[in-house]
Chains A and B, each alone.
Chain A
């Protein structure tokens, strides 16, 4: 999400004859972030991070199941700074995406649909994600 331009460009909603010099009112640059919006955006970001999981897990598995030398190389790589960083990043994203994903599925199924519950569950997801970030860092370092 980039800061919106002030003049009309990008998404133009209106019909052709109204594409005048009217400015587009500010949107993402001024809108206040609240719990549910943050939870949704964090779900998106963590999802993008988790795309990393696919090749990383593949490389780790193929290393771990090859020769004994490959096995110890792979474990050494996991303990290297880059390996720890990736495990931390992917692990935190995984836990947040999992918790908030369950929240989304429960909402899709029609549970906890009041305004207060939606706000509360967003705060819960964010807190769980933050806890995962901290706890995993403690475990890995």
Chain B
């Protein structure tokens, strides 16, 4: 492995205004198994303190540092430098309004998440201890509950790029599916009612960029297909 790596990073400064640009950096490899976030931290701490990005846990759990890395979305903290073609091109998540450098406005993304009511809705009284599930019912949620809402899938989706104001996007739909699959939830019918819409759900054309981008190895395309099957089963 090289001792120095090349990066090109998207820069935008709202105070300066003007067009965004790509800025080159050289970073020494300072530890084995170095991740992209380590390189960004090196730049911020040693070369240019104005470089702005989000990060928190640094180990792929919080979902803060989603960004476009060499053309594919992913989390900087769990993307090894070793596998990346240089110069590593780092850009903000696509089709988002850029606040500064790699920091984007996620308001709309979380509004869409909120719109699928991602919480347990149940009328029946809470049992003395807890709402129980069989191991099989619990296993239904595997592949959905692990979502950390980093936004890598939704901002990778061309359908969402062109119709993001109406199409809910892979992340929100994966979450909708997660609650529709949940045996304890009692609002399944209303949830399906809300989703049956040519724009909110049926903009998905199996492009599968969401599946390719998901840093947690989940499959939002499969979740969306499951929603479509459920809607079809309900109506036929």
- A–B contact with Cβ pairs below 8 Å: the answer is yes
Binary A-proximity of B219-233 (CB < 8 A = 1, otherwise 0): 101100110110000
Bound CA–CA A1/B207 (angstroms): 14
0/1 per residue, A97-129, Cβ < 8 Å to B?
A: 000000010011110011100110010000000
Shortest Cβ distance from residue B126 to the other chain A in the assembled complex, whole angstroms = 34
Given contacts A15-B107, A108-B225, contact A26 B94 (CB under 8 A): yes
A118-B221 contact in complex given A13-B165, A14-B108, C-beta closer than 8 Å: yes
Chain B residues positioned under 8 Å from A23 (CB to CB): 12, 19-20, 97-98
Size category of the binding interface on chain B: 35 or more
Contact in complex: A34, B212 (CB < 8 Å): yes
CA distance A23 to B97 in the complex (A): 6
Verify if A79 is at the interface (C-beta below 8 Å from B).
no
Which chain A positions have C-beta within 8 A of B60? none
Instruction: Write the nearest CB–CB distance from B199 to chain A, whole angstroms.
Output: 12
Partner-binding segment picked from A4-12, A55-63, A80-88, A130-138: A4-12
What chain A residues lie within 8 Å of B33 (beta carbons)? none
Judge whether A24 is part of the interface by a CB distance below 8 angstroms.
yes
Task: Give the distance in Å from the alpha carbon of A113 to the alpha carbon of B89 in the complex.
Answer: 31
CB distance from B52 to the nearest CB of A (A): 14
A30 touching B105 in the complex, CB below 8 Å, given contacts A11-B161, A24-B96, A113-B219: no
The count of residues in chain A whose C-beta lies closer than 8 Å to any C-beta of chain B is: 40
Residues from chain B with a CB closer than 8 A to the CB of A28 are 158, 161
Minimal beta-carbon separation of B227 from chain A (angstroms)? 11
Q: Assuming A13-B165, A23-B20, what are 16 further A-B pairs, CB within 8 angstroms?
A: A11-B164, A22-B97, A23-B97, A25-B93, A25-B94, A25-B97, A25-B98, A28-B161, A31-B72, A36-B206, A36-B207, A37-B209, A107-B206, A114-B219, A118-B222, A119-B212
**Residues of B in contact with A (beta carbons under 8 Å apart):** 10, 12, 14, 17, 19-20, 68, 70-72, 89, 91-99, 104-105, 107-108, 155-156, 158, 161-165, 205-209, 211-212, 217, 219, 221-222, 225-226, 228-229
